[in-house]
Amino acid sequence: MPLPTVPTDAFLLNLPKAELHLHVEGTLEPDLKLTLAARNNIELDQKTIEEVEASYQFNDLASFLAVYYPAMNVLQTEEDFYELAMAYFKRAAANGVKRTEMFFDPQAHTSRGVPFADVVNGYYRATQDAAQLGVSAELIMCFLRDFTAESAAEHLELSIPFKDKILGLGLDSDERNNPPAKFADVFAKGRELGYKLTMHCDIDQIGSIENIRQVIEDIQVDRIDHGTNIVENPDLITVVKEKGLGLTCCPVSNSFVTADMKAAEITQLLRDGVKVTLNSDDPAYFGGYIGKNYIDYAAKSGVSSAEMVQIAKNSFDVCWISDEQKAQYAAEIDAYVANFHE
Ligand code: ADE
Ligand code: ZN
Question: In CATH terms, is domain 9-339 a member of 3.20.20.140?
Answer: yes
Closest CA to 249 of 17, 8, 3: 17
Q: Which long-range contacts (CB under 8 A, 24 or more apart) does 148-152 make?
A: 149/182, 149/183, 149/185, 149/186, 151/107, 152/107, 152/183, 152/186
Atom number, ligand 1, closest to the C-alpha of residue 25: 2
Alpha-carbon distance of 142 to 183, in angstroms, equals: 12
* Model pLDDT, residue 105: 98
- Look at ligand 1, atom 10, and give the residue with the nearest C-alpha: 173
Separation of alpha carbons 167 and 185, rounded Å: 19
Q: What is the DSSP string of 258-289?
A: SSS--HHHHHHHHHTT-EEEE--BSHHHHT--
Alpha helices in 57-177 (DSSP H): 61-71, 78-94, 107-110, 116-129, 149-159
> Ligand 1 pocket check: which of 201, 202, 224, 252 to mutate, most ligand atoms within 8 Å of Cβ?
202
Does residue 339 sit in helix, strand or coil? Answer: coil
List beta partners, residue 18.
99
pLDDT score at 291: 98
Residues 6+ apart with CB under 8 A from 128: none
The pLDDT of residue 342 is 80
What is the percent of the chain where pLDDT is above 70?
100
Whose CA is closest to atom 9 on ligand 1? 173
Tell me which residues have their CB closer than 6 angstroms to ligand 1.
Answer: 23, 26, 61, 172-173, 200, 202, 253, 281-282
pTM over cut 0.85: yes
Compute, in angstroms, the gap from residue 321 CA to the centroid of ligand 2. 21
* Residue 222 near residue 254, CB atoms below 8 Å: no
Centre of ligand 2 from the C-alpha of residue 21, in Å: 6
Q: What is the bridge-based pairing of β-strands 17-19 and 223-226?
A: unpaired
pLDDT number for residue 1: 54
- Cα 285 to Cα 259: distance, rounded to the nearest angstrom: 17
CB 144 within 8 A of CB 65: no
| Ligand 1 atom index nearest CA of 175 | 8
CA 281–ligand 2 middle distance (angstroms)? 5
Compute, in angstroms, the gap from residue 103 CA to the centroid of ligand 2: 8
pLDDT at 341: 86
User: pLDDT tens, 275-290?
Assistant: 999 999 999 999 999 9
From CA 70, how far away is CA 61, in angstroms rounded?
15
Query: Which region holds residue 144: left if phi is over 0, alpha if psi is between -120 and 50, else beta?
Result: beta
Q: What separation in Å is there between the alpha carbon of 226 and the centre of ligand 2? A: 8
Per-position DSSP letters for 200-259, written without gaps between them: EE-TT-TTHHHHHHIIIIIS--SEEEE-GGGGG-HHHHHHHHHHT-EEEE-HHHHHHHSS
Give the phi and the psi of residue 326 in degrees, each rounded to 5.
Answer: -60, -45
Rounded Cα–Cα distance for residues 316 and 327 (Å): 9
**Cα 136 to Cα 60: distance, rounded to the nearest angstrom:** 32
Cβ contact 332:98 at 8 Å? yes
Q: Which residues of the chain have pLDDT under 70?
A: 1
The confidence score (pLDDT) of residue 5 equals 85
The mean of the pLDDT values for the chain is 97
Residue 229, pLDDT score: 98
